[in-house]
């Protein structure tokens, strides 16, 4: 890599411009890079866990701040001096509308269209597998911001910005997963753009088949999930696995056929036992989709009158995505961030994430 960069610099000096692309981003977790991203998240300045307490980020310039759209969604574009663009997606901002986006947790297909209003229909694809399902609320956020993100990436591509970090904390982290997938399958983006994703304190964005897809397109260290193990938010939304959520070749997906060669008595007993286990999970999944999908949609429709109800699927099997980066509570953590039984977000804020980063990786985050 040293040779590669040196060659780029030599060619720049010799020809007056660089005829080759000098990649700055590297795969895998970079503690110093993540520390700077936390500072950029603070610059949103209007969420419960992003109050500015650190020094300004080094070598970064804010070049664009989007309008507020969707369910209180917003994003920033920063430009680093080394030519890397940084897309920072805002998390929950404390309003009822922003919280509603989190609770709007019915699952929808990973491919389709989202009608935001009578004049805005956004086609989307965030996974190849048709059995991949994602969170309806955060997908609405992607649909509301995604076309604008693509427009700015194409604009800055013409200025030589070919590398981007996608970052968000909390709800912003969950949307970062889906935004990365949305950009991966966008047909109108140059194919030589390099993306690296940091989803910090992020909830689960979709089901297992979505996670497989995300982990595949970001393989070898390009899609990271940073988690404080005291933080309960990455454990959400509620998840429930039914026999319908298994791979098609699983015997649980076609139990009757699997038992047909058994003797009648054995078949009857096993079918009875399996049914007693299977039917309640399916009933619970339908209830979750009804409450967190269709019922929540009615609330969303009051805020976005032109938004059309998506097709909800009979699944609620949420699972984490991304390569895990574990910030484990080392000695002194519980004294530094005590839980009093009421401060349920104490482990979710930026401060404990920054403190653990300092203790584990021995870096100065100021």
- SS3 string, 235-275, reads HCCCCECCHHHCCCCCHHHHHHHHHCCCCHHHHHHHHHHHH
Which whole-number Å values give the CA distances from 352 to 323, 329, 359, 365, in the listed order?
A: 20, 9, 10, 12
Residue 69 belongs to a domain: yes
pLDDT at 270 (0 to 100) = 57
- Reported confidence tier of residue 3, pLDDT bands at 50, 70, 90: very low
The edge-to-edge listing of strands for the beta sheet with 318-319 is: 107-109, 133-135, 206-207, 318-319
CATH for 217: 3.40.50.1820
Residue 1 belongs to a domain: no
pLDDT at 198 (0 to 100) = 98
Q: Which residue is it, tokens 């949307």?
A: 175
Residue 181 belongs to a domain: yes
Contacts of 216 (CB under 8 A, 6+ apart): none
Residue 9 belongs to a domain: no
Residue 137 belongs to a domain: yes
pLDDT in tens, 222-268: 999 999 999 999 999 999 998 888 888 777 655 566 666 666 566 55
pLDDT at 46 (0 to 100) = 73
Q: Which helix (H) or strand (E) element contains residue 101?
A: helix 96-103
pLDDT in tens, 302-343: 999 999 999 999 899 999 999 999 999 999 999 999 999 999
pLDDT in tens, 54-67: 677 889 999 999 99
Strands 323-327 and 223-228: parallel
Helix axes 96-103 and 171-184, enclosed angle (nearest 10)? 60
Collapsing DSSP to helix, strand or coil, 359 comes out as helix
Structural domain total, the chain: 1
Collapsing DSSP to helix, strand or coil, 167 comes out as strand
Domain that holds residue 214: 27-361
Residue 89 has which token pair?
């997606």
- Evaluate whether 350 touches 41 at the Cβ level (below 8 Å): yes
Name the average pLDDT for the chain: 89
Residue 50 belongs to a domain: yes
- Evaluate whether 166 touches 145 at the Cβ level (below 8 Å): no
Residue 10 above 60 pLDDT?
A: no
CA dihedral 211, 202, 200, 334 (to 10 degrees): -130
- Reported confidence tier of residue 219, pLDDT bands at 50, 70, 90: very high
C-alpha 89: how far from its chain's center? 10
Q: What is the pTM of this model?
A: 0.89
Residue 36 above 60 pLDDT?
A: yes
Residue 4 belongs to a domain: no
Residue 7 belongs to a domain: no
- Evaluate whether 319 touches 204 at the Cβ level (below 8 Å): yes
């Amino acid at each position: 890599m040293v040779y590669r960069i040196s060659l780029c610099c030599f060619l720049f000096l010799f020809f007056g411009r660089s005829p080759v692309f000098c990649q700055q981003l590297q795969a895998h977790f970079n503690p110093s890079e993540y520390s700077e991203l936390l500072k950029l998240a603070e610059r949103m300045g209007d969420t419960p866990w992003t109050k500015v307490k650190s020094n300004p980020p080094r070598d970064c310039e804010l070049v664009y701040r989007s309008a507020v759209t969707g369910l209180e969604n917003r994003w920033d574009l920063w430009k680093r001096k080394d030519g890397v663009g940084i897309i920072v997606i805002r998390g929950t901002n404390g309003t009822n509308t922003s919280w509603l986006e989190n609770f709007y947790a019915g699952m929808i297909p990973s491919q389709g269209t989202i009608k935001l209003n009578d004049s805005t229909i956004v086609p989307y694809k965030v996974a190849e597998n048709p059995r991949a399902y994602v969170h309806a609320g955060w997908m609405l956020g992607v649909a509301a911001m995604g076309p604008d993100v693509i427009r700015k990436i194409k604009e800055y591509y013409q200025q030589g910005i070919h590398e981007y970090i996608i970052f968000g904390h909390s709800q912003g982290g969950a949307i970062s997963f889906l935004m990365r997938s949305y950009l991966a399958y966008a047909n109108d983006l140059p194919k030589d753009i390099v993306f690296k994703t940091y989803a910090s304190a992020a909830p689960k964005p979709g089901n297992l088949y979505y996670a497989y897809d995300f982990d595949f397109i970001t393989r070898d260290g390009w899609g990271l999930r940073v988690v404080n193990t005291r933080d309960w938010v990455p454990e959400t939304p509620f998840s429930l696995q039914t026999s319908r959520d298994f791979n098609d070749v699983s015997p649980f997906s076609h139990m009757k056929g699997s038992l047909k060669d058994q003797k009648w008595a054995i078949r009857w007993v096993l079918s009875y036992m399996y049914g007693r286990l299977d039917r309640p999970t399916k009933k619970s999944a339908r209830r979750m989709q009804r409450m967190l999908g269709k019922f929540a949609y009615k609330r969303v429709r009051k805020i976005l009158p032109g938004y059309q109800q998506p097709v909800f699927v009979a699944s609620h099997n949420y699972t984490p995505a991304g390569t895990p980066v574990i910030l484990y509570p080392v000695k002194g953590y519980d004294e530094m961030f005590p839980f009093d039984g009421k401060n349920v977000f104490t482990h979710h804020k930026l401060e404990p994430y920054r403190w653990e980063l300092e203790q584990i990786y021995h870096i100065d985050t100021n």
